[in-house]
Amino acid sequence: MEFLRFPSVSSQTERAGDVRDCANWLVRHLKGIGLNNARVIPTQRNPIVYASWRGAPGRPTIIIYGHYDVLPGEPLKDWLTPPFAPTIRNNNLHGRGAADDKGQLFCHVKAIEAYLKTRGALPVNVICLFEGEEEIGSPNLAPFVERNRRALNAVAAVISDTRMISAKQPAISYAQRGGLRAEIEVFGPPHELHSGAFGGAVHNPVLALCDVVAGLHDDRGRVAIPGFYNDVRAWGEKERAFMAKSGPSDQGILRSAKVETGWGESGFSLYERTTIRPDVTVNGITGGHTGQGVKGVIPARAMAKVSFRLVPDQRPEKIAQLFRDHIARVTPSTVRSTVRTMSPIRPALINRRHPAVQAARQAYKKVFGVLPVLIRSGGSIPVVHIFQNVLEIPAVLMGFGLPDDNIHGPNEKFHLPIFLKGIETSIWYLAFASNWRRVP
Amino acid sequence: MEFLRFPSVSSQTERAGDVRDCANWLVRHLKGIGLNNARVIPTQRNPIVYASWRGAPGRPTIIIYGHYDVLPGEPLKDWLTPPFAPTIRNNNLHGRGAADDKGQLFCHVKAIEAYLKTRGALPVNVICLFEGEEEIGSPNLAPFVERNRRALNAVAAVISDTRMISAKQPAISYAQRGGLRAEIEVFGPPHELHSGAFGGAVHNPVLALCDVVAGLHDDRGRVAIPGFYNDVRAWGEKERAFMAKSGPSDQGILRSAKVETGWGESGFSLYERTTIRPDVTVNGITGGHTGQGVKGVIPARAMAKVSFRLVPDQRPEKIAQLFRDHIARVTPSTVRSTVRTMSPIRPALINRRHPAVQAARQAYKKVFGVLPVLIRSGGSIPVVHIFQNVLEIPAVLMGFGLPDDNIHGPNEKFHLPIFLKGIETSIWYLAFASNWRRVP
């Protein structure tokens, strides 16, 4: 609860002090459990919390990755208790970051503590790498990993930042979508105009923006940006059959979302639409007068925040260019538009037959009594791609979130019985990892 | 400047105290110039300021109407000096309400003061009717006028709440568009969802709202609500020729708006589009995360504030129904929508050959040296219709605003030399009105 109390919101620069305070708290905590070399490593923005334990020579080294930064708590009015005032209700710990990712990160911290307090040693060497910029696309993690490639030499990374199917059915994610954020701004008259005097004769930038946004999809729910699907990998019947067997049903996804009707690209299941198919959506839109009362104006500008979810083999840099070209082409001559793109993340795939993944399956089995299913995730964890491409090690995504944890939304929570099982699973994973004969 | 300092914003209920303070100040001021029976008349929301002078038996009675309520000052950052800290720069008095309508209303107050201080009497009987709800559609004025039909017996009303062509060329408005406000709200999932987990499978209410808004116009710039144009009066070549001769050119309108390219319904000049043609536009739109930073969510809801400008013989009540039906029809089954309509105002036409209008033309000629042109306005002044239909008197729209006064926008101002000429014009108008032999 102390950890959750920090509003370590990485996307709001005015929270930089809170982010730093949270990093310092985490370092003190890691020292407290016996990781004496825990320290804060500054980056251009938010620090990385680093700690290592090297007391098992000849044994493999495992990187434990997590992030202590969180999303904003807004809209605050939808929370039963404030996002940064953690509260336990019905065995759930509520608060921003409870599941994503402070709570899940803490499963491993507590597993390490359990080893050190009971046996005085870990069964493997461990590197803790906890970053403060995951929610803004990990801009400083890749340079850090690249600069410290040798120090970060390891056989695998374990990341707990994904979801289980249910409290009884764990899951390991073997794919994440990539991503790209963009802001479109549309400019009309140099300042607001009276909509009586000019309505009907001057183009309204909100109308123009709505046209542009409405034109992002065609009638079949496909993204209508020319070239958008060019690099999308087509999956064969075998993989799609595996997905249909292992993944959630349409009804299951709708139940999690608490909506009645699905939407999107025809010809694909909802699970496929959120994992092997790309998407673009609007995270926010604003323009003109939206407060109380009325104001008869043609606004001067309008803005939308857009996010892409990308799949193999799309590249965010290429999508950014296609998007900029598209917006320039569809912006009518009556207004002006600008596009800013940011936070490119490549999609990632992990070989689900890799021994590091299989060890995680066995650890889950010990604790939950069943093997985890192997699923794809719709979200984007930038570090997976970094580990794969810079360190050339697999990232094992052992998620402990539940479908109704409401990460990124109001009343985010972490289920405490799962927290305890998460600690146990981490303990078993480190034990199994210690037996690897050679770097897999 | 004292008058402008009150943030008498009628659309914000939290400003009700400021609105009341402003009304009380105005009453004190009217008493100070000799209108001893000036008083505040409460309504269900904002009070009416009423005063009369009946010292000219046998002479006609003229109603002077104005409004002391104003629009909000937002967005504040676009103002050089704050909206409610009136400031004089280059002979212009800047502040919210400087032109719309406190400054214009004050032309008549100062004309009355001039008569009473120099001659001790007015040439006609006068009723001052200054309301505090014009910017929210005058909801309580019509009931007040209806209840007090006898006390308000007059030959004409004069209203200064419109614009001149330029500082040298006055204008009298003989038509206003009607209006209707609406709020469309679109609801998606019961709360925000992670756009990674659900993007591509759950309909985003912002996307749905953008579709709806984009569908309000067709490719030719016409409003695409079925039946919308059914009651729009078609004007013959003669009226359109008169308008082309007397009204502003396309270039003139674009210059006022400070935009380069026109927009809207093809087949009509920009002047026609803003006067004899109806329109719908978006005054504001909001949904999802629009603050600093990024938040990968599918928002739970999105909202747009819409305003219609209507022309003879459209009726706001019928348009409200057509709009509700249209939105219900175009809302996809993947989301839910609600529509709230408010502030209906009927369009109004004044016979430009009426003696009350002709007297105003002569008054302008005395002061400005030229006859005013007769033009149509794009905006909506609810009271014009009330005077016409309840009191059965014409409303003479003697505007003293300049095209660049930026009413409803930031840095609204009133040009002080025009303020002085406005006072003079009012003085002449009352003098000419005293000579009417019979109620025209």
DSSP notation for A403-435: TTS-TTSTT-EEEHHHHHHHHHHHHHHHHHHTT
Q: What is the pLDDT along chain B (440 residues), one digit of tens a residue?
A: 999 999 999 999 999 999 999 999 999 999 999 999 999 999 999 999 999 999 999 999 999 999 999 999 988 999 999 999 999 999 999 999 999 999 999 999 999 999 999 999 999 999 999 999 998 888 899 999 999 999 999 999 999 999 898 999 999 999 999 999 999 999 999 989 989 999 999 999 999 999 999 999 999 999 999 999 999 999 999 999 999 999 999 999 999 899 999 999 999 999 999 999 999 999 999 999 988 777 889 999 999 999 999 999 999 999 999 999 999 999 999 999 999 999 899 999 999 888 899 999 999 999 999 999 999 999 888 889 899 989 999 999 999 999 899 998 899 999 999 999 999 999 999 999 998 765 44
Residue A146 backbone zone (phi > 0: left; psi -120 to 50: alpha; other: beta): alpha
| Average pLDDT rounded to a whole number, residues A399-426 | 95
Greater confidence (A344 vs B53) lies with B53
The predicted pLDDT at position A415 comes to 98
Sheet holding B279-288, edge to edge: A336-345, A178-187, A301-310, A279-288, B279-288, B301-310, B178-187, B336-345
Contact criterion met (CB < 8 Å) for A10 and B293: yes
Residue A407 backbone zone (phi > 0: left; psi -120 to 50: alpha; other: beta): beta
> Given CB atoms, is A160 within the 8 Å cutoff of chain B?
no
The predicted pLDDT at position B136 comes to 87
**Calculated CA dihedral for residues B184, B187, B188, B189, nearest 10 degrees:** 160
CA distance A30 to chain B (A): 29
Tokens read off for A188: 């009309």
> Given CB atoms, is A289 within the 8 Å cutoff of chain B?
yes
Residue A31 has pLDDT above 80, yes or no: yes
| pLDDT, mean over chain A | 95
Predicted TM-score (pTM) of the model is 0.83
Q: Where are the domains of chain B?
A: 2-176+347-433, 178-232+278-345
The predicted pLDDT at position B437 comes to 60
CA distance A150 to chain B (A): 33
Contact criterion met (CB < 8 Å) for A307 and B296: yes
- State pLDDT tens for residues A82-99: 999 999 999 999 999 999
Window 316-335 of A, Cβ < 8 Å to B: 333-334
**Cα Rg of chain A, angstroms:** 23
For A369, phi then psi, to 5°, come to 85, -5
Q: Percent helix, strand and coil across chain A, each rounded to 5? A: 35, 25, 45
A440: confidence class by pLDDT, cuts 50, 70, 90 = very low
Q: Where are the alpha helices (DSSP H) in B344-440?
A: 355-368, 382-386, 416-433
**Calculated CA dihedral for residues A196, A183, B265, B410, nearest 10 degrees:** 20
Q: Which residues of A touch B407 (CB under 8 A)?
A: 194
Residue of chain B minimizing CA distance to A215: B211
Q: Which residues of B touch A304 (CB under 8 A)?
A: 206
Give the one of B135, B193, B264 whose C-beta lies nearest to A257's C-beta.
B193
Contact criterion met (CB < 8 Å) for B199 and A11: no
3-state secondary structure of A37: coil
The reply to whether CATH 3.40.50.10860 applies to domain A178-232+278-345 is no
Window 221-260 of A, Cβ < 8 Å to B: 253-254, 256-259
Window 119-158 of A, Cβ < 8 Å to B: 135-136
Contact criterion met (CB < 8 Å) for A408 and B193: yes
Q: Which residues of A touch B263 (CB under 8 A)?
A: 201-203, 334
Contact criterion met (CB < 8 Å) for A295 and B199: no
Q: Which residues of A touch B197 (CB under 8 A)?
A: 163, 256, 274, 377-379
Q: What percentage of residues in chain A have a pLDDT greater than 70?
A: 99
Contact A176, A84 (CB under 8 A): no
Q: Which residues of A touch B277 (CB under 8 A)?
A: 200
Give the one of B181, B274, B294 whose C-beta lies nearest to A197's C-beta.
B274
The predicted pLDDT at position B74 comes to 86
Question: CATH topology of A2-176+347-433 equal to that of A178-232+278-345?
Answer: no
Q: Which residues of B touch A181 (CB under 8 A)?
A: 294
Contact criterion met (CB < 8 Å) for B199 and A10: no
Give the one of A195, A216, A262 whose C-beta lies nearest to B283's C-beta.
A195
> Given CB atoms, is A309 within the 8 Å cutoff of chain B?
yes
Q: Distance between CA A24 and CA A45 in Å, rounded? A: 15
The predicted pLDDT at position A408 comes to 85
Residue A439 has pLDDT above 70, yes or no: no
Q: Distance between CA B331 and CA B336 in Å, rounded? A: 7
Q: Which residues of A touch B188 (CB under 8 A)?
A: 259
Q: Which residues of B touch A291 (CB under 8 A)?
A: 12, 72, 74
Residue of chain A minimizing CA distance to B189: A259
> Given CB atoms, is A80 within the 8 Å cutoff of chain B?
no
A67: confidence class by pLDDT, cuts 50, 70, 90 = very high
CA distance A394 to chain B (A): 21
Residue type, A310: L
Contact criterion met (CB < 8 Å) for B262 and A202: yes
A437: confidence class by pLDDT, cuts 50, 70, 90 = low
Q: Distance between CA A259 and CA A276 in Å, rounded? A: 21
Burial A114-146 (b: 16+ CB within 10 A, else e): bbbeeeeebbbbbbbbbbbbbbbbbbbbeebbe
Give the one of A261, A297, A409 whose C-beta lies nearest to B193's C-beta.
A409
Q: Which residues of A touch B247 (CB under 8 A)?
A: none
Helix-then-strand count for chain B, H and E = 13, 18
Q: Which residues of A touch B380 (CB under 8 A)?
A: 196, 296
Residue of chain B minimizing CA distance to A10: B293
Give the one of A214, A286, A289 whose C-beta lies nearest to B210's C-beta.
A214
Whole-angstrom CA distances from B211 to A147, A288, B12, B215 are 47, 18, 30, 6
Contact criterion met (CB < 8 Å) for B408 and A296: yes
Residue of chain A minimizing CA distance to B182: A294
* Third-level CATH fold of A2-176+347-433: Aminopeptidase (3.40.630)
Cis ω on the peptide bond leading into residue A69 (within 30° of 0)?
no
Contact criterion met (CB < 8 Å) for A295 and B408: yes
A126: confidence class by pLDDT, cuts 50, 70, 90 = very high
A337: confidence class by pLDDT, cuts 50, 70, 90 = very high
The predicted pLDDT at position A381 comes to 82
Contact criterion met (CB < 8 Å) for A253 and B163: no
| Average pLDDT rounded to a whole number, residues A165-172 | 94
Contact criterion met (CB < 8 Å) for B179 and A296: yes
Tokens read off for B316: 């706001």
Give the one of B181, B198, B204 whose C-beta lies nearest to A378's C-beta.
B198
**Cα Rg of chain B, angstroms:** 23
Give the one of B197, B203, B283 whose C-beta lies nearest to A295's C-beta.
B283
Contact criterion met (CB < 8 Å) for A408 and B296: yes
- State pLDDT tens for residues A256-308: 899 999 999 999 999 999 999 999 999 999 999 988 777 889 999 999 999 99
Residue A189 has pLDDT above 80, yes or no: yes
> Given CB atoms, is B261 within the 8 Å cutoff of chain A?
yes
Contact criterion met (CB < 8 Å) for B203 and A136: no
- Work out whether strand B373-376 and strand B171-176 pair parallel, antiparallel, or are unpaired: parallel
Tokens read off for B288: 């999802």
Which of A282, A289, A210 is closest to B210 using CA atoms?
A: A210
Contact B68, B49 (CB under 8 A): yes
Residue of chain A minimizing CA distance to B221: A200
The predicted pLDDT at position B381 comes to 82
Q: Distance between CA A209 and CA A285 in Å, rounded? A: 9
Q: Which residues of A touch B334 (CB under 8 A)?
A: 259, 261-263
Tokens read off for B59: 């002479």
Residue of chain A minimizing CA distance to B163: A197
CA distance A165 to chain B (A): 13
Whole-angstrom CA distances from A189 to A46, A301, A337, B94, B272 are 39, 8, 12, 20, 20
